[in-house]
Amino acid sequence: MIEKIKALQAEIGAATAANNEELEALRLKYLSKKGAVNALMADFRNVPAENKREVGQAINELKAFATDHLAEIRNRLDEAQAGGERPDLSRDAAPVVTGTRHPLSLVREQIIDIFRRLGFTIAEGPEIEDDWHVFESLNFAADHPARDMQDTFFINRRPDVLLRTHTSSVQTRTMTSQKPPIRIICPGRVYRNEAISARAHCFFHQVEALYVDRHVTFADLRQTLLYFAREMFGPETQIRLRPSYFPFTEPSAEMDISCGLCGGKGCSFCKGTGWVEILGCGMVDPAVLEACGIDSKEYSGFALGMGIERITNLKYLVNDLRLFSENDMRFLAEFAAAR
Protein backbone atom coordinates (compact mmCIF):
# COMPACT_ATOMS: atom_id res chain seq x y z
CA MET A 1 0.00 0.00 0.00
CA ILE A 2 2.78 2.40 0.98
CA GLU A 3 4.50 1.55 -2.31
CA LYS A 4 1.35 2.41 -4.20
CA ILE A 5 1.08 5.77 -2.46
CA LYS A 6 4.70 6.59 -3.21
CA ALA A 7 4.23 5.70 -6.88
CA LEU A 8 1.18 7.90 -7.10
CA GLN A 9 3.07 10.79 -5.44
CA ALA A 10 5.87 10.45 -8.00
CA GLU A 11 3.34 10.42 -10.79
CA ILE A 12 1.57 13.52 -9.53
CA GLY A 13 4.90 15.26 -8.91
CA ALA A 14 5.85 14.77 -12.55
CA ALA A 15 2.49 15.93 -13.92
CA THR A 16 2.33 19.25 -15.77
CA ALA A 17 -0.37 21.21 -17.54
CA ALA A 18 0.03 23.62 -20.45
CA ASN A 19 -3.38 25.21 -20.07
CA ASN A 20 -6.48 25.38 -17.89
CA GLU A 21 -8.13 22.38 -19.52
CA GLU A 22 -5.15 20.14 -18.86
CA LEU A 23 -5.03 21.39 -15.30
CA GLU A 24 -8.70 20.57 -14.82
CA ALA A 25 -8.07 17.10 -16.21
CA LEU A 26 -5.34 16.60 -13.60
CA ARG A 27 -7.68 17.74 -10.87
CA LEU A 28 -10.35 15.26 -12.00
CA LYS A 29 -7.83 12.46 -12.33
CA TYR A 30 -6.26 12.85 -8.90
CA LEU A 31 -8.28 15.02 -6.58
CA SER A 32 -11.96 14.72 -7.45
CA LYS A 33 -14.32 12.39 -5.61
CA LYS A 34 -13.64 9.62 -8.11
CA GLY A 35 -9.96 10.52 -8.44
CA ALA A 36 -6.91 8.39 -7.69
CA VAL A 37 -6.35 9.77 -4.20
CA ASN A 38 -9.86 9.00 -3.06
CA ALA A 39 -9.63 5.58 -4.65
CA LEU A 40 -6.90 4.76 -2.15
CA MET A 41 -9.51 5.08 0.58
CA ALA A 42 -11.26 1.98 -0.75
CA ASP A 43 -8.03 -0.01 -0.31
CA PHE A 44 -7.55 1.58 3.11
CA ARG A 45 -10.37 -0.58 4.50
CA ASN A 46 -8.29 -3.71 3.86
CA VAL A 47 -5.17 -2.44 5.59
CA PRO A 48 -4.42 -4.41 8.78
CA ALA A 49 -5.29 -2.48 11.92
CA GLU A 50 -1.68 -2.12 13.06
CA ASN A 51 -0.74 -0.36 9.81
CA LYS A 52 -3.78 1.88 9.57
CA ARG A 53 -2.12 4.80 11.32
CA GLU A 54 0.93 4.86 9.09
CA VAL A 55 -1.04 4.40 5.86
CA GLY A 56 -3.69 6.99 6.85
CA GLN A 57 -0.99 9.55 7.45
CA ALA A 58 0.66 8.77 4.10
CA ILE A 59 -2.65 9.23 2.29
CA ASN A 60 -3.23 12.59 4.00
CA GLU A 61 0.25 13.73 3.03
CA LEU A 62 -0.33 12.66 -0.52
CA LYS A 63 -3.55 14.64 -0.66
CA ALA A 64 -1.80 17.77 0.62
CA PHE A 65 1.06 17.24 -1.82
CA ALA A 66 -1.32 16.91 -4.78
CA THR A 67 -3.28 20.02 -3.74
CA ASP A 68 -0.08 22.07 -3.45
CA HIS A 69 1.28 20.80 -6.71
CA LEU A 70 -1.85 21.68 -8.66
CA ALA A 71 -1.99 25.11 -7.01
CA GLU A 72 1.57 25.71 -8.14
CA ILE A 73 0.65 24.83 -11.70
CA ARG A 74 -2.34 27.19 -11.42
CA ASN A 75 -0.03 30.04 -10.34
CA ARG A 76 2.35 29.42 -13.18
CA LEU A 77 -0.49 29.44 -15.70
CA ASP A 78 -1.88 32.71 -14.24
CA GLU A 79 1.51 34.36 -14.46
CA ALA A 80 2.00 33.25 -18.03
CA GLN A 81 -1.38 34.67 -18.83
CA ALA A 82 -0.45 38.01 -17.27
CA GLY A 83 2.37 38.30 -19.82
CA GLY A 84 4.90 36.42 -17.77
CA GLU A 85 5.37 39.43 -15.50
CA ARG A 86 5.81 38.80 -11.84
CA PRO A 87 4.87 41.71 -9.60
CA ASP A 88 8.04 43.33 -8.28
CA LEU A 89 7.44 43.19 -4.57
CA SER A 90 10.57 45.19 -3.80
CA ARG A 91 9.41 48.23 -5.75
CA ASP A 92 8.57 51.46 -3.87
CA ALA A 93 4.88 52.07 -3.38
CA ALA A 94 3.34 54.72 -5.62
CA PRO A 95 3.87 58.03 -3.81
CA VAL A 96 0.80 59.35 -2.01
CA VAL A 97 0.51 63.06 -2.68
CA THR A 98 -1.12 64.81 0.25
CA GLY A 99 -2.47 68.33 -0.15
CA THR A 100 -1.09 71.36 1.61
CA ARG A 101 -2.98 74.11 3.33
CA HIS A 102 -3.40 77.26 1.28
CA PRO A 103 -1.17 80.09 2.56
CA LEU A 104 -4.20 82.35 3.03
CA SER A 105 -5.88 79.68 5.16
CA LEU A 106 -2.72 79.28 7.21
CA VAL A 107 -2.49 83.00 7.91
CA ARG A 108 -6.22 83.35 8.55
CA GLU A 109 -5.96 80.61 11.18
CA GLN A 110 -2.94 82.30 12.75
CA ILE A 111 -4.80 85.62 12.99
CA ILE A 112 -7.91 83.99 14.43
CA ASP A 113 -5.81 82.08 16.91
CA ILE A 114 -4.17 85.25 18.24
CA PHE A 115 -7.48 87.08 18.69
CA ARG A 116 -9.08 83.99 20.21
CA ARG A 117 -6.51 84.17 22.98
CA LEU A 118 -7.81 87.69 23.71
CA GLY A 119 -11.38 86.40 24.02
CA PHE A 120 -12.63 87.22 20.52
CA THR A 121 -15.05 84.82 18.87
CA ILE A 122 -15.65 84.31 15.16
CA ALA A 123 -18.60 86.02 13.49
CA GLU A 124 -19.55 85.62 9.86
CA GLY A 125 -21.83 87.42 7.47
CA PRO A 126 -23.00 87.02 3.88
CA GLU A 127 -20.83 87.93 0.88
CA ILE A 128 -23.92 89.11 -0.98
CA GLU A 129 -25.02 92.17 0.97
CA ASP A 130 -27.15 95.28 0.85
CA ASP A 131 -26.16 98.91 0.82
CA TRP A 132 -27.18 99.51 4.43
CA HIS A 133 -24.82 96.91 5.96
CA VAL A 134 -21.85 97.67 3.71
CA PHE A 135 -22.12 101.47 3.50
CA GLU A 136 -24.97 103.37 5.07
CA SER A 137 -24.83 101.95 8.60
CA LEU A 138 -21.07 102.51 8.50
CA ASN A 139 -21.48 106.22 7.95
CA PHE A 140 -20.55 106.37 4.28
CA ALA A 141 -22.09 109.52 2.83
CA ALA A 142 -24.65 108.97 0.09
CA ASP A 143 -22.21 110.22 -2.54
CA HIS A 144 -19.15 108.42 -1.15
CA PRO A 145 -17.00 107.19 -4.06
CA ALA A 146 -16.68 103.70 -2.56
CA ARG A 147 -20.31 103.08 -3.48
CA ASP A 148 -19.55 103.83 -7.06
CA MET A 149 -19.75 101.19 -9.77
CA GLN A 150 -15.98 101.55 -10.08
CA ASP A 151 -15.44 99.80 -6.80
CA THR A 152 -18.53 97.83 -5.99
CA PHE A 153 -19.95 94.89 -7.87
CA PHE A 154 -23.69 95.48 -7.92
CA ILE A 155 -25.98 92.53 -8.47
CA ASN A 156 -29.06 94.71 -8.47
CA ARG A 157 -29.86 98.43 -8.17
CA ARG A 158 -32.85 99.63 -6.13
CA PRO A 159 -33.11 97.68 -4.00
CA ASP A 160 -29.33 97.45 -3.82
CA VAL A 161 -27.88 93.96 -3.80
CA LEU A 162 -24.11 93.94 -3.97
CA LEU A 163 -20.97 91.98 -3.18
CA ARG A 164 -19.47 93.29 0.05
CA THR A 165 -16.36 95.39 -0.46
CA HIS A 166 -15.15 94.88 3.10
CA THR A 167 -15.88 92.70 6.13
CA SER A 168 -16.91 95.77 8.14
CA SER A 169 -20.47 94.80 7.18
CA VAL A 170 -20.22 91.98 9.71
CA GLN A 171 -19.75 94.65 12.42
CA THR A 172 -23.18 96.08 11.85
CA ARG A 173 -24.77 92.66 11.35
CA THR A 174 -23.46 91.69 14.78
CA MET A 175 -24.27 94.97 16.52
CA THR A 176 -27.85 94.87 15.33
CA SER A 177 -28.36 91.32 16.55
CA GLN A 178 -26.34 91.19 19.79
CA LYS A 179 -26.03 93.34 22.88
CA PRO A 180 -22.63 94.51 24.18
CA PRO A 181 -20.20 93.31 25.31
CA ILE A 182 -19.27 92.30 21.77
CA ARG A 183 -15.86 90.91 20.95
CA ILE A 184 -15.78 89.42 17.48
CA ILE A 185 -13.37 88.57 14.73
CA CYS A 186 -14.75 88.29 11.20
CA PRO A 187 -12.70 86.58 8.52
CA GLY A 188 -14.10 86.55 5.01
CA ARG A 189 -13.85 87.18 1.29
CA VAL A 190 -14.54 90.61 -0.17
CA TYR A 191 -14.94 91.88 -3.73
CA ARG A 192 -13.93 95.02 -5.56
CA ASN A 193 -14.18 95.95 -9.18
CA GLU A 194 -10.45 96.27 -9.85
CA ALA A 195 -8.31 95.23 -12.78
CA ILE A 196 -6.32 92.13 -11.85
CA SER A 197 -2.59 92.74 -11.43
CA ALA A 198 0.24 91.76 -9.10
CA ARG A 199 -1.01 94.34 -6.59
CA ALA A 200 -4.80 94.26 -6.96
CA HIS A 201 -7.46 91.63 -7.47
CA CYS A 202 -11.21 91.61 -7.86
CA PHE A 203 -11.55 89.48 -4.74
CA PHE A 204 -9.42 89.19 -1.66
CA HIS A 205 -9.75 88.38 2.04
CA GLN A 206 -10.02 90.45 5.17
CA VAL A 207 -10.21 89.97 8.89
CA GLU A 208 -12.19 92.48 10.88
CA ALA A 209 -12.16 92.80 14.65
CA LEU A 210 -14.71 94.65 16.77
CA TYR A 211 -14.84 95.24 20.51
CA VAL A 212 -17.77 97.12 22.04
CA ASP A 213 -18.27 97.46 25.78
CA ARG A 214 -18.39 100.08 28.51
CA HIS A 215 -15.17 102.10 28.82
CA VAL A 216 -13.35 100.76 25.76
CA THR A 217 -10.54 103.22 24.99
CA PHE A 218 -7.89 103.91 22.39
CA ALA A 219 -5.36 102.46 24.84
CA ASP A 220 -7.19 99.12 24.63
CA LEU A 221 -6.95 99.30 20.86
CA ARG A 222 -3.27 100.09 20.91
CA GLN A 223 -2.45 97.27 23.33
CA THR A 224 -4.46 94.80 21.26
CA LEU A 225 -2.60 95.90 18.12
CA LEU A 226 0.78 95.58 19.80
CA TYR A 227 -0.08 92.10 21.07
CA PHE A 228 -1.28 91.05 17.64
CA ALA A 229 1.79 92.44 15.83
CA ARG A 230 4.23 90.71 18.16
CA GLU A 231 2.42 87.38 18.12
CA MET A 232 2.21 87.50 14.34
CA PHE A 233 5.58 88.94 13.36
CA GLY A 234 7.79 88.21 16.37
CA PRO A 235 8.51 89.77 19.79
CA GLU A 236 10.92 92.41 18.41
CA THR A 237 8.20 93.99 16.26
CA GLN A 238 7.48 97.69 16.82
CA ILE A 239 4.21 99.35 15.88
CA ARG A 240 3.40 102.89 14.77
CA LEU A 241 -0.04 104.49 14.47
CA ARG A 242 -0.60 107.22 11.89
CA PRO A 243 -3.75 109.37 11.85
CA SER A 244 -6.05 108.38 9.00
CA TYR A 245 -9.67 108.54 7.96
CA PHE A 246 -12.42 105.93 7.73
CA PRO A 247 -16.10 106.89 7.74
CA PHE A 248 -16.94 104.40 10.49
CA THR A 249 -14.20 105.22 13.01
CA GLU A 250 -13.31 108.41 14.84
CA PRO A 251 -10.46 108.88 15.46
CA SER A 252 -9.04 106.59 12.78
CA ALA A 253 -5.51 105.32 12.32
CA GLU A 254 -3.37 103.19 10.13
CA MET A 255 -0.89 100.86 11.74
CA ASP A 256 2.62 100.25 10.50
CA ILE A 257 4.97 97.60 11.81
CA SER A 258 8.74 97.79 11.81
CA CYS A 259 10.06 96.19 8.62
CA GLY A 260 10.80 92.55 9.35
CA LEU A 261 13.39 92.33 6.57
CA CYS A 262 15.76 95.09 7.67
CA GLY A 263 14.64 95.32 11.29
CA GLY A 264 13.61 98.96 10.78
CA LYS A 265 16.87 100.23 9.30
CA GLY A 266 15.36 100.84 5.89
CA CYS A 267 15.59 98.63 2.81
CA SER A 268 14.06 98.32 -0.62
CA PHE A 269 11.14 96.30 0.79
CA CYS A 270 10.04 99.14 3.10
CA LYS A 271 11.18 101.76 0.58
CA GLY A 272 13.83 102.96 2.97
CA THR A 273 11.37 103.99 5.69
CA GLY A 274 11.84 101.07 8.07
CA TRP A 275 8.04 100.70 8.34
CA VAL A 276 5.36 98.76 6.44
CA GLU A 277 1.65 99.44 6.62
CA ILE A 278 -0.55 96.55 7.68
CA LEU A 279 -4.02 97.61 8.79
CA GLY A 280 -6.67 100.26 9.44
CA CYS A 281 -8.31 100.83 12.79
CA GLY A 282 -10.02 103.31 15.07
CA MET A 283 -12.68 103.97 17.68
CA VAL A 284 -16.13 103.04 16.42
CA ASP A 285 -17.88 106.27 15.39
CA PRO A 286 -20.79 106.97 17.79
CA ALA A 287 -23.05 107.41 14.75
CA VAL A 288 -22.36 103.77 13.80
CA LEU A 289 -23.24 102.55 17.28
CA GLU A 290 -26.47 104.58 17.20
CA ALA A 291 -27.36 103.29 13.71
CA CYS A 292 -27.18 99.80 15.19
CA GLY A 293 -29.27 100.67 18.23
CA ILE A 294 -26.42 100.81 20.74
CA ASP A 295 -26.38 103.74 23.18
CA SER A 296 -23.17 105.60 22.36
CA LYS A 297 -23.20 107.39 25.73
CA GLU A 298 -23.01 104.12 27.56
CA TYR A 299 -20.84 102.14 25.17
CA SER A 300 -17.72 102.68 23.12
CA GLY A 301 -15.70 100.39 20.94
CA PHE A 302 -12.75 99.89 18.70
CA ALA A 303 -12.54 98.23 15.29
CA LEU A 304 -9.75 97.14 13.03
CA GLY A 305 -9.52 95.56 9.63
CA MET A 306 -6.71 93.97 7.68
CA GLY A 307 -6.16 92.18 4.40
CA ILE A 308 -5.10 88.56 4.80
CA GLU A 309 -3.17 88.75 1.51
CA ARG A 310 -1.21 91.71 2.84
CA ILE A 311 -0.27 89.89 6.05
CA THR A 312 0.66 86.79 4.04
CA ASN A 313 2.81 88.89 1.70
CA LEU A 314 4.70 90.28 4.66
CA LYS A 315 5.05 86.99 6.46
CA TYR A 316 5.99 84.78 3.53
CA LEU A 317 7.27 87.43 1.07
CA VAL A 318 4.79 86.65 -1.66
CA ASN A 319 4.87 89.60 -4.02
CA ASP A 320 2.19 88.79 -6.57
CA LEU A 321 -1.46 88.60 -5.47
CA ARG A 322 -2.38 86.46 -8.45
CA LEU A 323 -0.41 83.53 -7.04
CA PHE A 324 -3.06 83.11 -4.35
CA SER A 325 -5.81 82.20 -6.80
CA GLU A 326 -3.98 80.40 -9.59
CA ASN A 327 -3.66 77.06 -7.81
CA ASP A 328 -0.15 76.52 -9.10
CA MET A 329 1.04 73.40 -7.31
CA ARG A 330 4.65 74.61 -7.29
CA PHE A 331 3.60 77.67 -5.30
CA LEU A 332 1.21 75.86 -2.96
CA ALA A 333 3.69 73.08 -2.21
CA GLU A 334 6.09 75.65 -0.78
CA PHE A 335 3.77 75.94 2.21
CA ALA A 336 3.78 72.22 2.98
CA ALA A 337 5.98 72.73 6.04
CA ALA A 338 4.45 76.01 7.22
CA ARG A 339 1.92 76.10 9.97
* Minimum CB distance to ligand DAH smaller for 23 or for 208: 208
Asked if 300 touches ligand DAH (CB under 6 A), the answer is: no
The sheet with strand 154-156 has its strands ordered as 128-129, 161-163, 154-156
Asked if 282 touches ligand DAH (CB under 6 A), the answer is: yes
* Minimum CB distance to ligand DAH smaller for 135 or for 335: 135
Q: How far is the CB of 196 from ligand DAH (least distance, A)?
A: 18
Asked if 281 touches ligand DAH (CB under 6 A), the answer is: yes
**Torsion angle, CA of 219/223/228/230, rounded to 10 degrees?**
140
Q: What is the DSSP string of 96-121?
A: P------HHHHHHHHHHHHHHHTT-E
- What Rg do the C-alpha atoms of the chain give, in angstroms? 39
For residue 307, give the H/E element and its range: strand 300-307
d(CA 218, CA 252): 10
Site string for ligand DAH, 218-247 (x = CB under 6 A): ----------------------------x-
Part in contact with ligand DAH (CB under 6 A); list of ranges 65-73, 95-103, 105-113, 274-282? 274-282
Part in contact with ligand DAH (CB under 6 A); list of ranges 3-11, 46-54, 92-100, 278-286? 278-286
Asked if 285 touches ligand DAH (CB under 6 A), the answer is: no
For residue 59, give the H/E element and its range: helix 49-81
Asked if 187 touches ligand DAH (CB under 6 A), the answer is: no
Q: How far is the CB of 218 from ligand DAH (least distance, A)?
A: 12
Q: How far is the CB of 288 from ligand DAH (least distance, A)?
A: 10
Burial call 119-155: b when 16+ CB within 10 Å, e when fewer: ebeebebeeebbbebbbbbbbbeeeeebbeeeebeee
Contact (CB, 8 A) for 99 and 327: no
Candidates 139, 172, 174, 249: give the one binding ligand DAH (CB under 6 A).
249
* Minimum CB distance to ligand DAH smaller for 249 or for 258: 249
- The backbone torsions φ and ψ at residue 283, rounded to the nearest 5 degrees and listed phi first, read -90, 135
* Minimum CB distance to ligand DAH smaller for 125 or for 305: 305
What residues make contact with ligand DAH under the rule CB under 6 A? 166, 168, 208, 246, 249, 280-282, 303-305
